[in-house]
Amino acid sequence: MGGNRDAGSIVKGRIASLGAALVVLFGISSCLEVDQVITLKRDGSGTITEEMLIGKGLLTFLKDIPGDLADHPLVGLYQEENYEKLEVNYGAGVKFLKMERIARAGGEGVRVTYRFADINQVVLVPGSTLDELKMNKKKGLREESLCFEYAAGVLTVKVPALSASGTENGKESEATESPVDLPALEKVMMQMFKGMKISSRLIVDPGIQESDATYREGKMITFLNFDCDKIMGNPKGIQALDKLDGSTRAELKTALEGVKGVVVETKEWIRVKVASD
């Protein structure tokens, strides 16, 4: 299962994709919240729920753009058929269930639910909703996805592997980097990511009997969680984001220690034993 693409680059790209485009094109912050939840039942079936919320400031700006533009950022956001077409991205047998409009704190967005009969067929790219908001369908998602094996009440999750662009293979990269103006970079990133939150989680119903996942709370296991306001609010925040690209698992784990606002599962495999009914 899985592939050998650099998960750090993938995650970093997911975070930056929509925010960067909006800052470059419109000079505004992203103000986007993305939440992915897989809910697993003991029989191996369940749902995938993806929630996208556009913050009040960004929403106001986007609504002021003439609606007759073919590439309007909000075109397709509330069209069910777009999300129904995306069901193939989540694996064989995954079916679109419903789309609901949501509103919170002046922001608006959608909550989309898919159902599956067998989690063994499910693949999920953490943060992929950012691409889906732009209706940018990609191929080969399995290479960068969470993949699942489930049997006899035990779930094994394959977390996307980090490639050897850092020191994974024992060799330092020969590439050189240009000097970075950290204060200027920090200012740009604080604008780009202001208000952005991204999370990817697993909820097990009826519960978890035991698990070796790094981030577990009750029935919930977190694969990925970014609160960019918290990240940018501490001195190590920018450096932590930079470590997402090209770091080994061990390097990433060390870099993220004590950094508020960011959670990334660095284990290659995690095991979850589902509680009895």
Any domain includes 2? no
Tokens, residue 33: 């919240």
Q: Which residues pair with 108 in a beta bridge?
A: 54, 103
Any domain includes 259? yes
Any domain includes 175? no
Rounded Cα–Cα distance for residues 8 and 262 (Å)? 13
How many independent structural domains does the chain possess? 1
Helix, coil or strand: residue 49: strand
Any domain includes 92? yes
* One-letter amino acid for residue 215 of the chain: Y
Any domain includes 108? yes
- The count of residues in the chain is 277
Any domain includes 241? yes
- The pTM (predicted TM-score) of the whole model is 0.75
Any domain includes 174? no
Measured torsion, CA atoms of residues 178, 184, 190, 191, in degrees rounded to the nearest 10 = -110
Rounded Cα–Cα distance for residues 191 and 194 (Å)? 5
Domain that holds residue 203: 7-168+181-274
Any domain includes 176? no
Q: What is the pLDDT along the chain (277 residues), one digit of tens a residue?
A: 444 344 444 444 544 444 444 343 333 445 788 899 999 999 999 999 999 888 877 777 667 766 555 555 666 788 899 899 989 989 999 999 999 999 988 888 899 999 999 999 999 887 665 444 443 344 433 447 899 999 999 999 998 854 433 333 344 444 444 455 556 655 655 665 677 888 999 999 999 999 999 999 999 999 989 888 888 777 667 666 666 666 788 887 887 887 888 888 989 999 999 998 7
